[in-house]
Amino acid sequence: METLAQHHESIAALIARVFLGLLFFFQGYDAVFKIKISNVIETYESSFADKGIPRFLTVCGAWFTSYAELIGGLFLITGLFEYWSLSLLGLDLIVASIGFCIVSSIWDTRHVFPRLVLLIFLLVIPPAWDHYSLDHLLSIIYKN
């Protein structure tokens, strides 16, 4: 039991990182492979056009958010390029929030807010807590 108590920070970081990665990965997977990006664009296109947003921005936003979630989520699950992924996914949350605010100034944040909290948690914890990741493993290998 003492061993587990010594590593509770690392376990907390692992759980938070993998959980957040899964949320983003499957959201991106659905957008890219199940729903298809063209349908994502079609869903938001008329709402954005009514607000004066050019189609080009809608297309760029759909492609960016879909692939950022898919790739960033996968990297978080594995713990590879973690801080780059967290930064990219933070930008993804900002872009998505702007899109939701354009469609409706009062929108349900229940899906976005938990992701934001976990993302900020992972950005502010000390890097020493994140032992169970490919980034940590690679740092050990390249240090020797």
pTM comes to 0.91
Q: 48 lies in a domain?
A: yes
pLDDT tens-digit map of 76-134: 999 999 999 999 999 999 999 999 998 888 888 888 999 999 999 999 999 889 889 99
Q: 129 lies in a domain?
A: yes
Count structural domains, the chain.
1
Q: Would you say the C-alpha torsion 109, 111, 114, 119 has a positive or negative sign?
A: negative
Q: Return the structure tokens found at 43.
A: 């869903």
Q: 18 lies in a domain?
A: yes
Q: 2 lies in a domain?
A: no
Distances from the Cα of 37 to the Cα of 106, 116, 139, angstroms: 25, 23, 36
The domain in which residue 86 lies consists of: 9-143
To 10 degrees, the CA torsion angle through 58, 30, 26, 43? 40
Q: 134 lies in a domain?
A: yes
Q: What's at 96, amino acid-wise?
A: A
Instruction: Give the whole-angstrom CA distance, residue 109 versus residue 127.
Output: 29
pLDDT tens-digit map of 11-54: 999 999 999 999 999 999 999 999 999 999 999 999 999 999 99
Q: 66 lies in a domain?
A: yes
Distances from the Cα of 139 to the Cα of 14, 45, 127, 134, angstroms: 17, 44, 11, 8
- pLDDT classification of 2: cutoffs 50, 70, 90: low
Q: 124 lies in a domain?
A: yes
Instruction: Give the whole-angstrom CA distance, residue 96 versus residue 112.
Output: 9
Q: 3 lies in a domain?
A: no
